[in-house]
Amino acid sequence: MQRAIGSAWRSCRHLLFEDRGNVAVIFGLTLAPVMLLVVLGVDYARIFAARSNLQQATDAAALAVAKNIVDSTTGQQAQAQAQVYLANNARGSISATAATISSDRMTFCLSTRVQIMSAFSKLALNLAGVGALNASANACAKMPGGLSPVDTYEIALVLDNSGSMSRSTNGMTKMQALQSAATSFVGTMFSRAPGRVQFAVTPFAGAVVAVDPTATANRSLSWIDVGGDNSQHWIAFGGKTAANAAGFTNRFGVYDKLAARNSRLDWRGCFEALAYPYNVQDTATSSSNAETLFVPYLAPDEPDSDDDYRNSYIDDDGASYSWSWSSSVCSDTASGDWNKLEHVCKYKTTSSLSGSFGPTSFFGPNQFCPDNRTQAILQLNSTQSVVNDKINRLVENGNTNLHEGLMWGWRTISPVGPFAQGRAYGASGNHKVIVFMTDGFNNWGAQTRTVVGSDYEALGYYTYNGAANARLPDGSAGDHVDYRSSLTAAAGSSSSYLSVSRAAQDELTLEACANAKAAGVEIYTIGFSIPADPIDEQGLALLQACATNSSHYFAATDVASLNAAFSTIGTGLGKLRLSQ
């Protein structure tokens, strides 16, 4: 460029001193400004590009610094960080001239400047006295937690209520610590996004109480398998034909008979897992596809005469337990453990039955279903006092089933599925968030030397007399392990398959997490792992993998760090973005 300008200027000078006519003089006089305008046009394009690059560099620096600002960061420190970023990543010598952090620490603003040397600086100095231009730029970034003043938030709190939450740390139970931290988080969100935030609360243990079972209407909801057509409905009850012959259309009919014998035997509001892969997906329920409909939880009565079975609550042939022995209601006598277990006619007996069937006994048809008085799901709600009341009434009891907890939590903010209360996926300005807290890991109890291999939980049994459990991963996705086949070997085995069953539950949990994230759900995970009752490495690794990213995972080792985790989530909601 400089050589071209010099050549043009020499030509102009030659014409200015040419003495062979007026035309030459006039041409020489007009050539100089024309050439200057051409050069100015070329140089303006260069200046414009430099200004654009400066703005892009400033935007990038503002985002990079905002992402790392903590409570103790000063404006001066932020400016220094911006200067380092610009020096390492931007073209040219860009200076960070000013940096400010707003009083609420939600916005970071950066100002920059760069000197743009003109390509015709020597010529311009001679003609106009200008040799360089200074360009400046500004950018502001909303830091994580800088909630939009118009966006909406659907937040699912998925909270572990297993028995280990009753253990103490720092002078209070883990449940009390959770209640304090969670209600504080709820208060933060309601104050920061008034009128634009809704919470759902999903307490989970070995199963999830999805609805209030005392409401009669909740037994005929459109998403429940009231026709008994789902493949899992009668799998441990002799099949649909036998159940219908005994007078049962669905499991509520069985519960009606049991409740007539003892009110504590009535349904508590839990459901069992769908068959795989429906149990890791957010699928719309449809009466035209029974596999999408939910089966009420009903743990079968197990054989009477074998102590290896832990859940025998009625006679194998339906005889009455009372002051006097009565004859069986069944027309046949079951022989063999599997036949005794699935002998569906035994549930027809209606005579009074005594026994300890409360929520702490883990005994009876609701074996691992929590107490419906405190543990039922709170669907999306926009009233702070209602959300806090639900959290404060939670009671610790039972096993841990992370998969069921996560899936029911996801369903509370879903636009489809059982509740269908969430806004559509991808709806503009709407955020779907899961906060998933546990103090443990997946635990599905084994029953060795039995035809089923395990306790009956939301996933059913490990195996059904050697037949595969269709709720388990089949190896078609995820870690590609066929857990159905692996756990059929548990039937009759004296070996515990706890590690295999846990791996199967972990796989279901991770596939559910991946599918929720793919749908646009932001997932925060908290492992409440105190030294006296730690979560093992496998459990913590699962929580890390489930979270949206590493900054969405927290390991809390005491009350203070649990509070800090919820507080960080409260200030971290809201995506990092440019606001100016």
pLDDT in tens, the chain (580 residues): 444 444 444 444 454 444 444 444 454 545 555 455 445 454 555 666 677 788 889 999 999 998 888 768 899 999 999 999 999 988 778 999 999 998 867 789 999 998 876 555 455 545 555 556 678 999 998 776 667 778 999 999 999 999 999 999 999 999 999 999 999 999 999 998 999 999 999 999 999 999 999 999 999 999 999 999 999 999 999 999 999 999 999 999 999 999 999 999 999 999 999 999 999 999 999 999 999 999 999 999 999 988 899 999 999 988 765 434 456 788 878 889 999 999 999 999 888 888 778 777 788 999 999 877 778 999 999 999 999 999 999 999 999 999 999 999 999 999 998 999 999 999 999 999 999 999 999 999 999 999 999 999 999 999 999 999 999 999 999 999 999 999 999 999 999 999 999 999 999 999 999 999 999 999 999 999 999 999 999 999 999 999 999 989 999 999 999 999 999 999 878 767 777 7
What is the C-alpha to C-alpha distance for residues 526 and 567, in angstroms, rounded to an integer? 12
Give the number of other Cβ atoms within 10 Å of residue 86's Cβ: 24
CATH of domain 152-579: 3.40.50.410
Where do the structural domains in the chain lie, given as residue ranges?
Answer: 21-142, 152-579
The two three-digit tokens of residue 302, written as one number: 């197990």
DSSP state of 440: S
- Compute the C-alpha angle 201/203/208, nearest 5°: 115
Q: Which amino acid is at 326?
A: S
Instruction: Please give the torsion angle defined by the CA atoms of residues 476, 553, 70 and 157, in that order, rounded to the nearest 10 degrees.
Output: 110
Instruction: Report how far Cα 392 is from the mean position of its chain's Cα atoms.
Output: 22
The two three-digit tokens of residue 174, written as one number: 């883990």
Return the pLDDT at 241: 98
Q: Which residues of 262-301 are buried (b: 16+ CB within 10 A; e: fewer)?
A: eebbbbbbbbbbbbbbbbbbbbebeeeebbbbbbbbbbbb
Instruction: Report how far Cα 449 is from the mean position of its chain's Cα atoms.
Output: 37
Given a contact cutoff of 8 angstroms between Cβ atoms, the answer to whether 272 and 295 are in contact is yes
DSSP codes of every residue in 452-473: S-B--BTTB-S-BTTB--TTS-
Torsion over CA: 553, 556, 562, 564 (sign): negative
Instruction: Report how far Cα 39 is from the mean position of its chain's Cα atoms.
Output: 59
Cα→Cα distances 51→60, 136, 140, Å? 14, 8, 17
End-to-end CA distance of the chain: 36
Q: Which residues of 186-205 are buried (b: 16+ CB within 10 A; e: fewer)?
A: bebbbebbeebbbbbbbbbb
What is the C-alpha to C-alpha distance for residues 354 and 551, in angstroms, rounded to an integer? 52
| Helix residue ranges per DSSP H, 111-173 | 121-127
Return the pLDDT at 321: 52
- Which residues are CB-neighbours of 440 under 8 A, at least 6 positions away? 160, 162, 164, 400, 535, 539
Task: List 434's β-bridge partners, or say none.
Answer: 156, 523
Instruction: Report how far Cα 394 is from the mean position of its chain's Cα atoms.
Output: 21
Cα→Cα distances 501→275, 329, 498, 535, 573, Å? 16, 36, 5, 17, 35
Owner of token pair 């071209």: 4
Give the number of other Cβ atoms within 10 Å of residue 518's Cβ: 9
Given a contact cutoff of 8 angstroms between Cβ atoms, the answer to whether 173 and 166 are in contact is yes
Instruction: Report how far Cα 16 is from the mean position of its chain's Cα atoms.
Output: 78
- Which residues are CB-neighbours of 298 under 8 A, at least 6 positions away? 251, 254, 255, 267, 272, 365
Torsion over CA: 419, 425, 431, 433 (sign): positive
Q: Strand 430-438 vs strand 522-528: parallel, antiparallel, or unpaired?
A: parallel
Give the number of other Cβ atoms within 10 Å of residue 89's Cβ: 12
What is the C-alpha to C-alpha distance for residues 330 and 314, in angstroms, rounded to an integer? 13
The two three-digit tokens of residue 193, written as one number: 């996004």
Cα→Cα distances 510→151, 210, 497, 556, Å? 29, 21, 20, 21
What is the C-alpha to C-alpha distance for residues 244 and 229, in angstroms, rounded to an integer? 11
Three-class secondary structure of residue 168 per DSSP: strand
The two three-digit tokens of residue 13, written as one number: 């000078």
Return the pLDDT at 130: 53
Phi, psi of 474 (to 5 degrees): -100, 5
Return the pLDDT at 310: 94
Given a contact cutoff of 8 angstroms between Cβ atoms, the answer to whether 415 and 424 are in contact is yes
What angle do helix axes 174-192 and 384-392 make, rounded to 10 degrees?
170
3-state helix, strand, coil in the chain (%, to 5): 40, 15, 45
